[in-house]
Structures are given as structure tokens and as C-alpha cells.
A and B are shown apart, each in its own frame.
Chain A
Amino acid sequence: MRITEQQVSYVADLANLRLSEQEVARMARDLDGILSHMEKLNEVDTSGVEPMAQVLYEAGETATLREDVPGATLDNAAALANAPLSGAGQFKVPKIIER
């Protein structure tokens, strides 16, 4: 096994994802299978190859930066409209600091 249930729980923690015990077991199996397929990439010689983070093509213009001019943004009510809990113009969350 490349990946243990303990590792799954660790990664789930990093991802802020609560998984049930059954999900952890299933996830370990699935990730193990998928990662073993991914090891196929080790066959490829990539020495001297630059990593490709974005689609690259010949481009005449590169003026992707716009003028810095103020414009309209979402108003407070619109920004809060989809929040499960809000009040006083803010998103509300469970208490973080105990007094």
C-alpha cells in the first residue's frame, strides 16, 4: 500500500474534510489504486523540461494589466445574500476566541 488510513486522515485534515470511518477505508483503497496508475509518469524522462503551468501560445499582445481605475463592486447586501448566517453587515461564524 502506498497510502495508509492514517495518511488519509492526515490529508483529510489538511483539506478540512470530515470523513467517516468507512469513507477513510474506501478512500485509502481508491487513492492507492489511482496513485499507482500515476506512477506511470516515472517512465518519462523530463530532464531539462520546463514545467507547464499555463497554456502557452505565441501572442502579439501581452497587455493583460488593465488601467487601475475604481469601478463598481458588489454591495454589502448582495455579497451577504447567500451566506447561511449573517448580521450587522458581516458573515457570522461560530465563536473563535473564548472570553
Chain B
Amino acid sequence: MEISKLTIGRIQAGLREKKFSAAELAAEALGFARDENSKTNAYLTFCEERAMAAARQVDEKLARGQEPGALAGVPLAVKDVISTRGVRTTCGSKLLARYIPPYDATAVERLEAAGAVVLGKANCDEFAMGSSNENSAFGPVKNPVALDRVPGGSSGGSAAVVAQGTAVAALGSDTGGSIRQPASFCGVVGVTPTYGRVSRYGLVAFGSSLDHIGPLARNVSDAAAVLQVMAGRDGRDATSAFAPVPDYAAALKEPVRGLKIGLPREYFEGLTSDTGRQIEKGIELLRGQGCEFVEVSLPNTEYAIACYYIICTAEASSNLARFDGVRYTTRSSAAQTMADMYRMTRGEGFGAECKRRIMLGTYVLSHGYYDAYYLKAQKVRALIARDFQRAFEGVDALVAPVSPFPAFKLGEKLDDPIQMYLSDIYTITGSLAGIPCMSVPCGATGAGLPVGMQILARHFDGRGRFRGGGALERALVGA
């Protein structure tokens, strides 16, 4: 079996036909992932014992003639900001280098209940803050497509393991594009569900009103299968939604003839020519499948970056206050007093980007600035959400690029925080509105760097998103 070519469907068939056992598959996948990891640094931790135990459980169920679950035997990676009981969860931070969660995230619990095999934890930007995975305390991840380039961030490790073939799918988290942007940079599928669709219980909080868990996979139907298992109400996350979960696999097969798709004008200005050309090609392919396109406008797009970086840093500064040297983190050894213990632990432990965001968030929330920055940003957020609402009155879905440019070189934007923030321009708006989005591979630039097309839909219309995603993938495979 060739691990890097496996899909969820092939694994299910292979297990049924007894071509391999789940334990054989897990052992081989672990070996392959360990061997390949030196190239990309995409995994931070392997959890062999846990993986083998999960695989043996699948084999036992199969031997007893029981239904082993929709993800039986599927080797997965989990982004290291998502808690795994008994398995180190670092959040890409020195502060949590030895942190072992005492419980599982709901998403992980549901995946394993469906038979999935968690191989290990994927590298990421520290506390999911970054767009290049260069902010990990454990070293950057290299893009498997071009090793001198970034994989995107913050779920860079999750995208890299899927692209490299060292996991069939991976969990990522998305606050302002952290699933879609790395998916597009590495040429894989990345899905950001509607806010509240997947429980955030066990996801280490960054920006609570913006955080999502979602899947990355090599094709749209695998991503749909993983999301199907995770989605749905969870009593342990008060923001998790009650809305019924549609059948995503069925949506994939629906014809798209007559599907009305909006092209937001603001997203096509300033596209580098190579990326723009690939997106145009993708649009033509969808047109060939019978989709109808109309131009729409999301007039407040240009304010999204400023709005987002005020709200997410404000939320982050408060969420990250818990890392104080008392309960979970390492502690500065030099501190003599309580106040010094807090300050020195945090000063020594957080990396440069986390410090920048804590400072920015504290500043915009501080006395005298709250109205001018934070309250203003919340109002602009309402306008950005309203833009989408209006656009969706006339169309079923929107199509846009994921990123204005393909994967950039390691180190290229590291010293310029504003340039780094601007790379999130097309993904941040969907995050602010909380709508379902996805990135689907859409060809490559002349230099061979993957381009991603973004599909955005109405709240809880994951069906509509997958319908478009499935059609694009079919058209590309056929093209």
C-alpha cells in the first residue's frame, strides 16, 4: 500500500477486503511519517501507543463483524493547539513544551469514536498566531511542494502532512484563514466550517469569537467525511450550534447546473497575474459545469485587516493571560516575587509575535482607547457581515482567491508584521462573518506553486460550499 496515495474510501475498501489490517496500516503510516518528517518538520510529536491502540480496536471490531466507524483506520494528524489526553500539546510554544492535557477535545473524541487513528501532533505558529508557520518555538515547517518556501500558517504542519502524504487528513484551526491559506499554499483542501458548527471544546483559545476547528485533506470528499464526524452540537461548548448537520457527501454529488455564484469585485483587484490566471481558469471550469457567475460587491473588504487585528488581538490578550507560570506552563526560575514570576515567565516564554499581539490587544482594550479601537472594530465587523448577507440575497455562493500570492520564501516577510498581516486579506472577511468557507486546489503558477480557490457560502450552508467544491474538483480532475 502506498500511504501517500490513500484516501478514506480506499482505506475502507482495503479493510473490508482484508488487503491490510488497521494495525498494519497504522504501523506503516507511523514509520513513513517519522522517516519523512526531517524534510518538513511538520510533526512535533508522534503518539505511537495511542495510534496502535486505536487501530487494534478497529481490527477487533472488524473481526467481530461490528461496524468500525466512518473513519475506520484513517491515519490523521491533529494540530498542536487541539488538546489530546495524555499526548503533549505544545501550541507551538516554549511555555507549553511539557504540557500534557488531562482531556481530549470533542473533535478528537468524535474522530476516534469513528475509528480514526491519530498518528501525532502537527506543528503550527505559536498559539495559532501567524501566516507562515515561522512563529513556532520548535522551528518552521517547510512546504513539501517547495522546501525553501513556507507552508502558510497557522495550520502549516497540518497542511504539510497532508501534502507530503504522511497523514490522510489533518485537523487545523482557523481564526482568520489559518486552515484555508496553508491549504492553498500546499495544494490541499481546507475547510472552515460555519462558526459554531464544530465544538471548540479542547481547542486552546486564541480569538474566541473567531476560532474554528476544521479538516484538511487531499480531496474534497475526504474533507467532507472528516467534517461530517466532527460537526454538531456539543454541550461543552456554549457557542456550538444546534442546527442540523447536512449530508455533506450527498452535497458533493449534486449537479451545479444553474448554481448562481458571485464574484466579489474587491477580491480580484491587485491579484498577482499567475494567481489571477489560475482562478480565472477555475471559474471557466465551473462555468463549463453550468454555474452562472455574476459580479457582486463587498464594499467594506478594505477595512477587514484592521478590524480583524484589533478584535483578534484583544481577545488573544485576554485568552493568553492564563499562561502565567502557575498551572500549565513552565516557570521562570529567576523570579523571587509573585509579580516577577508572572512577568518573567511570560517575557521569557512567549515568542515575538505573541508578545506583539498581547501588547496590541492590551493597548486597544486599555482605558481611553477602547471606544476608538475595539468598539469601532466591532461595528465595522457588523458592516462586513452585512456585506455578505446582502451578497447572498442574489447568489448561492461566492468564489474568490484564497491568497493574493502563492507560498512565499522562508524569512521573506518575517521582519515586517504588516506585510505578514496583509497576506490574510481574502480569508479574514469570511472569518469575521463566521460563514462556511473552503479552499480547493486550483492549478499551479508557472513556478509550480499551488493556487487555492475559495468558496464561501451562507451560515450553515455547508451543503452549498461542498456542492461548489465538489464540482470544481471534478472539473479539474476531468480537465
Assess A33 versus B359: contact at CB under 8 Å? Given A38-B306, A55-B209: no
State whether the Cβ of B243 lies closer than 8 Å to any Cβ in chain A.
Answer: yes
Chain A residues, Cβ within 8 Å of B195: 55
Cβ A46 vs Cβ B383 within 8 A: yes
Contact with B along A1-30 (1 / 0, CB 8 A): 001000110011011111110010001001
State whether the Cβ of B440 lies closer than 8 Å to any Cβ in chain A.
Answer: no
Cβ A64 vs Cβ B238 within 8 A: yes
State whether the Cβ of A88 lies closer than 8 Å to any Cβ in chain B.
Answer: no
Q: How far is the CA of A79 from the CA of B326 in the complex (A)?
A: 12
Cβ A83 vs Cβ B327 within 8 A: yes
Nearest A residue to B459 by beta-carbon distance? A57
Cβ B417 vs Cβ A57 within 8 A: no
Chain A residues, Cβ within 8 Å of B379: 44, 46, 49-52
Chain A: interface residue total (CB-CB under 8 A): 57
Chain B residues, Cβ within 8 Å of A95: 338
Interface size class of B (residues with CB under 8 A): 35 or more
Stretch at the interface among B67-75, B122-130, B166-174, B370-378: B370-378
Task: From A12, A31, A42, A60, name the one whose CB has the most chain B CB atoms within 10 angstroms.
Answer: A12
Nearest B residue to A16 by beta-carbon distance? B342
State whether the Cβ of B433 lies closer than 8 Å to any Cβ in chain A.
Answer: yes
Chain A residues, Cβ within 8 Å of B342: 16
In chain B, positions 39-74 with a C-beta closer than 8 Å to chain A are none
Task: From A66, A79, A84, A96, name the one whose CB has the most chain B CB atoms within 10 angstroms.
Answer: A84
Cβ A14 vs Cβ B376 within 8 A: no
Cβ A56 vs Cβ B378 within 8 A: no
Cβ A59 vs Cβ B241 within 8 A: yes
Contact partner, A44, options B99, B303, B324, B433, Cβ 8 Å? B303
Q: How far is the CA of A90 from the CA of B173 in the complex (A)?
A: 33
Chain A residues, Cβ within 8 Å of B241: 59
Chain A residues, Cβ within 8 Å of B391: none
B245 to chain A, nearest CB (A): 14
State whether the Cβ of A61 lies closer than 8 Å to any Cβ in chain B.
Answer: yes
Cβ B102 vs Cβ A78 within 8 A: yes
Cβ B356 vs Cβ A27 within 8 A: yes
Chain A residues, Cβ within 8 Å of B330: 84
Contact with A along B75-103 (1 / 0, CB 8 A): 00000000000000000000000111011
Stretch at the interface among B184-192, B343-351, B467-475: B343-351
Chain A residues, Cβ within 8 Å of B347: 17-20
Q: How far is the CA of A40 from the CA of B194 in the complex (A)?
A: 28
Contact partner, A15, options B242, B362, B460, Cβ 8 Å? B362
Cβ A23 vs Cβ B355 within 8 A: yes
Cβ B341 vs Cβ A41 within 8 A: no
A22 to chain B, nearest CB (A): 11
Chain B residues, Cβ within 8 Å of A74: 102-103
Cβ A8 vs Cβ B382 within 8 A: no
In chain B, positions 326-369 with a C-beta closer than 8 Å to chain A are 326-331, 335-344, 346-348, 350, 355-356, 358-360, 362-363, 366
Cβ A14 vs Cβ B303 within 8 A: no
Contact partner, A81, options B102, B242, B383, Cβ 8 Å? B102
Chain A residues, Cβ within 8 Å of B355: 17, 19, 23, 27
State whether the Cβ of B181 lies closer than 8 Å to any Cβ in chain A.
Answer: no
B194 to chain A, nearest CB (A): 8
Nearest B residue to A78 by beta-carbon distance? B102
Contact partner, B418, options A7, A37, A59, A84, Cβ 8 Å? A37
Cβ A31 vs Cβ B359 within 8 A: yes
Q: How far is the CA of A52 from the CA of B378 in the complex (A)?
A: 5
Contact partner, A8, options B344, B348, B350, B359, Cβ 8 Å? B359
Cβ A81 vs Cβ B100 within 8 A: yes
Assess A94 versus B242: contact at CB under 8 Å? Given A17-B350, A41-B303, A50-B382: no
Cβ B196 vs Cβ A41 within 8 A: no
Q: How far is the CA of A40 from the CA of B347 in the complex (A)?
A: 31
Q: How far is the CA of A59 from the CA of B460 in the complex (A)?
A: 10
Cβ B417 vs Cβ A30 within 8 A: yes
Cβ B242 vs Cβ A34 within 8 A: no
In chain A, positions 82-99 with a C-beta closer than 8 Å to chain B are 82-85, 91, 93-96
- CB<8 Å pairs between A and B, sample of 16: A8-B359, A11-B362, A15-B321, A31-B356, A31-B360, A33-B417, A35-B360, A38-B373, A40-B306, A41-B373, A44-B383, A46-B380, A51-B375, A52-B381, A55-B434, A82-B328
Top 6 closest pairs, chain A to chain B, by CB: A55-B434, A18-B347, A51-B378, A46-B379, A52-B382, A84-B331
